[in-house]
Structure 1
């Protein structure tokens, strides 16, 4: 006779959850693969056109991001070859980190690149929308510790 189990218990151990890292103190420049600047109480990564006029900490792996061209085809090439290059972190954010967005919602960092960090946040339930979450880039942090673009 076969018994029916109410719960399937995995026989292999599950990986331990990654411990939540403490957020970087406000006003402190993170050790990061991209350059970091702190100006008027906002943390951001300076671009090539502003890096020469602001105090900043150089990136461990990357120089300031070059200015984007305005022509559509040139912009696409710049995005693929410069801006969307994967990085291990962005201003101290790493995939899996939980952050607070400018509106107070929490989001999880999905990936990082030279341009910024892609974060995923939950959407409120709706009968008109099938998605449960949305994604956006964040590129800076304000004086309250909230991230925004």
Structure 2
């Protein structure tokens, strides 16, 4: 007796990741958020500084408004302004491998208006239970290392 398959599932081989060319130092990226250079550091200016510096406007978002000081108003600002998902942050896209300060290699997990979340491997230790850490990066220095 012959069985009938509901789905013909063929094993798929993922396409090899195409390496992206790192952005040259001193070059403003085409990005969904504004981009600026100051003393050889690439960053996304906030609304209060964007008015007085040369910057490249973002393709999808204006400069991020300055954060308020109160806890409730800050939480609302974070949810509605800062943590809004973006396709990239200063040219970084999910899956990119970058170097953070300290020459640690990290992988971009996600991007938002505030920055990019990166995951990096933690040193092995008999006392540690976690193998990876995460942090935001918001700027790049003149050596090509990202930091917060």
Is this a same-fold pair by TM over 0.5?
A: yes
Q: Who is 2:132 aligned against?
A: 133
Q: Who is 2:95 aligned against?
A: 96
Shift of 1:116: 0.1
The normalised TM-score by structure 1 is 0.91
The reply to whether residue 68 of structure 1 matches residue 46 of structure 2 is no
Deviations 1:89-121 (A, max 9, x none): 000000000000011011000000000000000
Distance in 2 of aligned mates of 1:14 and 1:121: 26
Distance in 2 of aligned mates of 1:92 and 1:42: 14
Q: Who is 1:119 aligned against?
A: 118
SS in 1 for 2:36: strand
* Number of residue equivalences: 139
SS in 2 for 1:73: helix
RMSD, aligned α-carbons: 0.8
Deviations 1:25-68 (A, max 9, x none): 00000000000001110000000010011100000000000000
Distance in 2 of aligned mates of 1:54 and 1:142: 18
SS in 1 for 2:48: helix
The normalised TM-score by structure 2 is 0.92
Distance in 1 of aligned mates of 2:16 and 2:97: 13
Structure 1, unaligned stretches of length 5 or more?
1-10
